[in-house]
Amino acid sequence: MMKDRDRILRAAGRILDRNTPTIEREGLEAFVDSFIQRRERYLELTRDHGSPLYVFEPGVLRERAARFIEVFSGRLPEIAVFYAVKSNNYPGVARTLVECGLGLDVSSGLELSMALECGAETIVFSGPGKTGEELEWASKHHDRVTVLVDSFGELAALERVAADAGKTVKAGVRLTTDERGLWRKFGIPLEELPRFLELCRDCSHVLLAGLQFHTSWNLNPENQVRFIARLGEILRRLSPEQRELIEFIDIGGGFWPPQGEWLQDAGTPEGRLRAIIRISTDPEPLSLDHFLLPAAPLEEFADRIGDAVREHLLAQLNCRIYLEPGRWLCNDAMHLLLTVVDKKAEDLVITDGGMNAVGWERFEFDYFPVINLSHPELVERECCLMGSLCTPHDLWGYGYFGRDIQPGDVLLIPTQGAYTYSLRQEFIKPLPKVITLENS
């Protein structure tokens, strides 16, 4: 026990000595100013539609899609890009990206139905635990859907369903990127790939044509490059006949947006530990310290992944490379507009929108600037900004950019396009409407 305690204390000391970088102030102010310059457009929306509101900007989405395709097309000979619908399942997002030439990556029958309604011609259906009904739906639309099989059991289930329907379904198989812990949930172990391919030869209604893997929360391409090298080792062990089956390799998504991950103190490792071991019962003072986990630019992702793919995969296979970006595409294309409804103290206001709009209490840990469009200024002032839900964790932040804050003021929380709208929930208050803002 003493050894365990000493080891824990040493590890805690190393964490407390860590200094997560802070957000560079000049860059933050430039980011805020880019929205202040468009404040009249956002204020007009609240005058016309009230608040709270989601603001969807399809022009931003189109720009991100064009850039993603351009960058990766310049590094790899033949790619196909599929938007990961789970990152923002607003139908307008999917429709816009389909119009840009992207396919859709879905993870449920619900998302599949929406993808079909949005006119997607190419769809990959991923995710564990697909139901018989979902496999039937995929089989019915076999001309547009590739099923990414998640297990040996799912392969057998898909063969039965496709046989009953008299269809031949194109498929890939998902590969586990980490055989330990919770990520074991996804796909089959890499070492099991040869056996899986052999079983596919006995399936007359499932046409295996590719492989898929996915690593998440990629601030840089290290995990993707590492797994591509592991996959290359397995491919070298396959027979020529097995390698000939592989028409595509889907390297998933998880690309972090270029601004990086912005955090409150409580979102940093050292901040979380300080909160656990804090002795004082006095309330913590408000803080305008903001922290940054930097993300690699998209060009670095494309260069490093492109090099790894050519070295480990394309040297052995003649195949297309699929990519499944979600967060990188949609993060900057949706924002939230709120109105201050009550000022309870100089450092405490209540807004008309709550955490049910984003699905969880993320702003205790994640940082996004709150911009007072009614009294804008490039100065951040301390204030506890709370929502109107009946829970103390209904928090938007600890400060706002503006000269002052009063009831009736309109607040903008920018870049809320990823894993917010999809996670929204019916809890206490109505959900915001979505208003589309073109040519912004």
Helix locations, 285-439, DSSP H = 298-308, 327-330
Q: Which residues of 263-286 are buried (b: 16+ CB within 10 A; e: fewer)?
A: bbbbbbebbebeeeeeeeeeeeee
Q: Residue 310, exposed/middle/buried by CB under 10 A (0-12, 13-18, 19+)?
A: middle
- Those residues with Cβ within 8 angstroms of residue 267's Cβ, 6 or more apart along the chain or in another chain: 291, 364, 365, 366, 367
The predicted structure's pLDDT at residue 17: 73
Q: What pLDDT is stored for residue 439 in this prediction? A: 74
Q: Is 52 a residue whose pLDDT tops 60?
A: yes
Architecture of domain 22-55+332-436: Beta Barrel (2.40)
- Return the CATH number of the domain spanning residue range 59-261+289-330: 3.20.20.10
- Backbone φ and ψ of 167, nearest 5°: -120, 160
DSSP state of 415: -
Point out the least confidently predicted range of 175-184, 220-229, 303-312, 410-419: 175-184
pLDDT digits (tens, 9 = 90+) for 268-294: 988 888 878 775 556 666 778 899 999
pLDDT at position 369 over 70: yes
pLDDT at 12 over 90: no
At residue 58, the pLDDT reads: 98
Instruction: Kindly list the domain boundaries of the chain, sorted by start residue.
Output: 22-55+332-436, 59-261+289-330
The tens digit of pLDDT for each residue in 205-226 reads: 999 999 999 999 999 999 999 9
Q: Looking at residue 250, what is its pLDDT?
A: 98
The average confidence (pLDDT) of the chain is 94
Q: What is the pTM of this model?
A: 0.95
